[in-house]
Amino acid sequence: MATSRSEPARTAPAGRASLPNDAAVDPPFRRVLIANRGEIAVRIIRACRELGVEAVAVYSDSDRAAAHVRLADVAVRLGPPPPTESYLRIDAVVKAALDTGAEAIHPGYGFLAERAAFARAVEAAGLVFIGPPPAAIEALGDKLHARRLADSVGVEAVPGTLEPAPVDRPDQVHAIVAEAERIGFPLLIKAAAGGGGRGMRRVERARDLPAALASGSREAASAFGDGSVYLEREIRPARHVEVQLLGDGEGTVVALGERDCSLQRRHQKLVEEAPAPGREPDARRRLHEMAVRLGAAAGLRNAATAEFLLAPDGSFYFLEVNTRLQVEHGVTELVAGVDIVREQLAIAAGRPLSEAPRAAAARAAEPEGHAIEVRLSAEDPGRDFAPTPGGVRRWIMPAGPGVRVDTAIEAGDRVPPEYDNLIAKVMVHGADREAAIDRLRRALDETEIAGIQTTLPFHRFVARDPSFRAGEVSTDWVAARWDGPAEHARAARAAQLAAGLAALDRAAADGAAAMATPLRHITTSDGRWRRSGIEGLVDRWPR
């Protein structure tokens, strides 16, 4: 049953009449349901508003008063907080769209975004799925199929196997070990049907391979319902670079540019930037061309991202394709000057690519400006990035020139434990990378969050780190620079504790008002651990 919180559903919200004429004359749809929550739901609702499209939100019981529910024209309860009883219920989401008269469904990212079964259910109900066709999602969601597709169009994938490993064939053990030795150790066992590190195993010796294959397959089956795994060479140090693609129903596929997402921890991205630092125009152009070939071969329509690993020798290897809007799409929007969500809506309505993405693609190899995004999450970077759900007491986001914040959080909100820990994306845009880093440092110093611990101290550390400024990034950067080896980590924790105690001593001497003093007024040395320790303490001190 459709609701709109505790008030009647609005069909003509305040401000609709003031939309620009060109946005309201021919909107791509009359009403769109957003099958997601949090900042991405808010982001899509805002794009709908600008186009004169009404937005339908869905929510679980823990999100009843969430920002995306308040902002939407109509909201529908899906069920209890667990995702399997709410946001992952295909039947409930499709019914909500039909009951509210929505013409299309935008999945955002996560949840049902890359499930071909969901896209098919949407289309079977006579609705439009705002994303790639189900066949493309299914084909590219299978990493082995994607690797074979890359091979067929002359795009080199990370060296490895193109077929599932014979996990349940004891008679094939010798053959798979021989194949592993051909690929070279150390190597990775990876799930064919999913990502996020689930089912992944690192193997350094041939004798460890059979057990790792079995355990990786079991975890993949539990996480994705498919235990297929394959072998892939480990490339280290590597950089993770991805290309933003858009394709329309007329067969046109373009690359809007690339993003560097190398700062990761346990295969989860923490910082993204566009363009990738240190790349020459010719190298960018070749990378974009490879990504476009992949998208065209897969019959891409709407938005997708082709991901690559950059090896130390400068070689790019295809990794996978994500058939959805990416978390970090905003940095590409800032550099390319294209509203990707707006384009998604238009493409789904059957319209060709507009002039904006075509022009952006033409200049993508030589972009102007630089953008960086940091993912603020409810996690404690001083405790192995442990989740820290809870109530937000103070929430001040940065502003000013070149700063964009995508969030759905306000002071007084509660971060629920059932969902992803991402609470805000802070993005900056500058004339070049140096200017963008300076702006990022300033923006993060303006940010104030209290009530829960967040990753803000980690991101402040990144913005001040000389190796990050120099562009010396890789997928090992966080482990080396933040986590460090065991002895370094223990020393770091001791330093953070000492810094915290020093701040407490100062508070006792100066009174409680000292703890409410903005960070910029706290005098510290430039020692990275002392500074991050004081920042961490102030950030989580309840004001």
User: Which residues have a catalytic role annotated?
Assistant: 324
Provide the 3-class DSSP secondary structure of residue 103.
coil
Distances (CA, A) of 273 to 150, 246, 323, 445: 25, 19, 20, 19
Cross-strand bridge partners of residue 253: 247
CA distance 109 to 36: 8
CA-wise closest residue to 447 among 535, 382, 338, 325:
535
503: left (phi over 0), alpha (psi -120 to 50) or beta: alpha
Distances (CA, A) of 338 to 307, 359, 424, 433: 20, 9, 21, 20
143: left (phi over 0), alpha (psi -120 to 50) or beta: alpha
CA distance 34 to 11: 16
- What does DSSP assign to residue 344? H
CA distance 188 to 179: 13
Phi, psi of 419 (to 5 degrees): -125, 180
**DSSP per position, 459-522:** HHHHHH-HHHHTT---TTHHIIIII--HHHHHHHHHHHHHHHHHHHHHHHHH-GGGGGS-GGGS
Distances (CA, A) of 327 to 39, 268, 269, 426: 10, 11, 9, 12
Could you report how far apart the first and last alpha carbons of the chain are, in Å?
41
Distances (CA, A) of 275 to 372, 518, 541: 9, 33, 36
Phi, psi of 8 (to 5 degrees): -60, 150
Kindly tell me the sign of the dihedral angle through the C-alpha atoms of 19, 20, 26, 28.
negative
**Mapped to the 3 state alphabet, what secondary structure does 384-434 carry?**
CCEECCEECCEEECCCCCCEEEEECCCCCCEECCCCCCEEEEEEEEECCHH
CA distance 39 to 59: 13
What are the E-state strand segments in 204-315? 229-233, 239-247, 253-265, 268-274, 302-310
